Chain A
Amino acid sequence: MIARRLDHRKNLLWIAALVHRLSGLALAIFLPLHFLTLGLAINGEARLEGFLRWADQPLVKVSESALVFLLLVHMLGGLRVLVIENLDWRDGQKQLATVAAGISAIVAFIFLARVL
């Protein structure tokens, strides 16, 4: 059985759109958890402090760094789309998408370096 190929999905801009969608979904799942954590402060700082110290472990810090990446790549990818939709067309979209991912990775890396 020969599988059908969908090579249009190798296009960088399709991948950028997928990253944008998946990062949005990940952030949407994360956000309620984030709000619940901050809500721990409702009865004073002790429980929040307990969480923050639990979150000091390296694996959590790596996850936080991933979240920083997801937030930035979603924002910068979204900015690229807002430019396409609201300003005159400009070429070089593949380059812009790559730059967006690159900046997000760099900032996430800097975050990780600072907190580890």
Chain B
Amino acid sequence: MTVRLYIWQRGTAALMLPLVLVHVAVIFYATRKGMTAADILARTRGSVVWASFYGVFVCAAAIHASIGLRNVLTEWSPLQDRGAGWCAIVFGLVLLMLGLRAVFAVVLA
């Protein structure tokens, strides 16, 4: 791991500390007995706040998880810097696309 990757990984980690806490609170709220999909979506639809919050969260998670995956691959698999780097980039892009699609689905669709 180089200093640049380290900064991005630790930086997104620090950014996500408050985001995870809010998300856990959201999880508790959304799983209350009797909450339907309609109830949840009624709160997210058209919300700039939720779009921004989860948009940022998705981007940070995609960066953080892909660099983490790269580390695991270089240490626990035969892949080294280049191979692991490419796998990480692909994984990060998959997370980014699926994540932003999910944000779109609950806010705008």
Residues of A within 8 A of B (CB): 21, 24-25, 27-28, 31-32, 34-36, 38-46, 48-49, 51-52, 64, 68, 71-72, 75, 78-79, 82, 85, 107, 111, 114-115
Interface residues of B (CB under 8 A from A): 10, 13-14, 16-17, 20, 23-24, 27-28, 31-33, 36-38, 40-41, 58, 61, 65, 68-69, 72, 91, 94-95, 98-99, 101-102, 104-106, 109
Contact B28 A42 (CB under 8 A): no
Query: Lowest 10 A-B CB distances belong to which pairs?
Result: A49-B37, A35-B98, A38-B102, A42-B105, A48-B37, A35-B102, A45-B37, A41-B105, A42-B109, A39-B105
User: Across the interface, do B37 and A21 meet the contact criterion of CB distance under 8 Å?
Assistant: no
| One of A28, A36, A41, A114 near B98 (C-beta < 8 A) | A36
Majority-rule SS of B interface residues: helix
A45 / chain B contacts, CB cutoff of 8 Å:
36-38, 41
Task: Give Cα A94 to B6, complex, Å.
Answer: 24
| Closest Cβ–Cβ distance, residue B107 to chain A (whole Å) | 9
Question: Which chain B positions have C-beta within 8 A of A28?
Answer: 65, 68-69, 91
Q: Which residues of B contact A27 (CB under 8 A)?
A: 65
CB distance from A101 to the nearest CB of B (A): 16
